[in-house]
Amino acid sequence: MFEITVRLPTKKIDRIITHLYQKGYHQTFYEVPLDVVTDANGYAFVEKRNETTELNIYINNYFEAKERRKLVELLAIDESSLVVKEVNERNYQLTFDDIFLENGWVITTPDRRNDYHKEKRIVLDSQGNFGTGYHETTKDCLYFILKHDFTGLGVADIGAGSGVLSVAAAIKGAELIDTYDIQLVEREILYQCELNSVKPVNVFQSDLIKNKNRINKKYDFIFLNIGTQENMDILIAQRLLDCKDTTFILSGMLEWNYNRVETLFKDVGFLLVKKKQSNEWVTCVFKAQ
């Protein structure tokens, strides 16, 4: 496999990638330059549209003169701007290191699954959605989930991303798992279920803030790991605080604003029964009194 790198204006990247895809270049990657700012809701990311960034294009077979001329024409750049190197396809696919969680659990890749006991591992092949296990919020949600016996219980995983929290609940015996995400993540989540040999979960794509009353089931547990304001908006829009028999695991909140969520729960009769903080990130478990 060959990696071809070129630096291009960020504001043109999306249009260029679409054009490349139409011409048969289906594997591309770039990182959007971002400024990190803080506000009352926590961290926010502002895209720096007037800068340039590196676009990586991956192809299996590379014929130097032919491909160079083709890409130079497609990208409308000088040939000297192309940087080409051969990459080991195995290393290219192993994007993530193993993640060692508390309680002896590990998140590993399909290639390394046999390095760990199946009773203490989650196999994850993240394809770009949030929830690889590196972030503190995911790790702390998993800390609570993997300590609990979910046998026979029903779970809703809202803002599911890669589906790692759902997979963990399935491994721990959950009978029914419904995942909700604003993005189209069904194929990835079902793939993660297959990798872990658990029953496929139900996947729903929906904007749960704008699409009110989308959730009409009762769950024993609801996972909500997005952000403080988003968590609150979904709880209110979906009337989830009426679910007095449900235990909530919430994360994506920061030490300077999680109390807003705590107040929301306390006002309707829930208790903060457990809390875990990693760096500035706070994860809470709420249960009705």
Identify the band that residue 289 occupies on the pLDDT scale cut at 50, 70 and 90.
confident
DSSP letters spanning 112-126: GGGGS-GGGEEE---
- Picking from 60-64, 110-114, 139-143, which range would have the lowest pLDDT averaged per residue? 60-64
Alpha-carbon distance of 246 to 220, in angstroms, equals 5
- DSSP lists the bridge partners of residue 270 as 288
- Picking from 82-86, 96-100, 149-153, 209-213, which range would have the lowest pLDDT averaged per residue? 209-213
Helices (H), 124-255: 136-146, 164-171, 186-195, 228-237
- pTM of the predicted structure, to 2 decimals: 0.71
Q: What's the token pair of residue 122? A: 């989650």
- Picking from 37-41, 76-80, 168-172, 262-266, which range would have the lowest pLDDT averaged per residue? 37-41
